[in-house]
Amino acid sequence: MYAIVEAGGKQHKVEVNTVLKTELLHVNAGDKVNLKVLMFVDGTKVLAGKEATKVSVVAEAIENGKDKKIVVFKYKPKKNERKKQGHRQPYTMLKVLEIKA
């Protein structure tokens, strides 16, 4: 039994006890989050579209944090133009607690 959910603008395939890293959701650690279900599969039964909205997926926010730093370096040859910039993407770790059909 698994579900395809939307979290943080991306789609994830989740099962019970799945831990996923998604875009930053403005929730505190320990809060429960209901995720939007796009598709649900249980053996041979498949629910999609409006039928999938009857299924609920509950996840718990484990932590909010920042990913590893990536370095953005822009360079134009023969112009003495260089720009170095860093970026750390914020994220939320979610653990799926239950999938109710």
pLDDT in tens, 33-44: 999 999 999 888
* Burial (CB count <10 Å: 0-12, 13-18, 19+), residue 25: middle
How many structural domains comprise the chain?
Answer: 1
Q: Which two tokens stand for residue 24?
A: 């930053």
Share of the chain above pLDDT 70, in %: 100
DSSP state of 24: -
Q: Of 54, 63, 64, which Cα lies nearest the Cα of 34? A: 54
Structure tokens at 14: 């989740």
Determine the Cα–Cα distance for residues 1 and 15; give it in Å rounded to an integer: 7
Task: List, for the chain, all residue ranges whose pLDDT scores fall below the cut of 50.
Answer: none
Residue span of the structural domain in which 49 resides:
2-100
- Prediction pTM value: 0.80
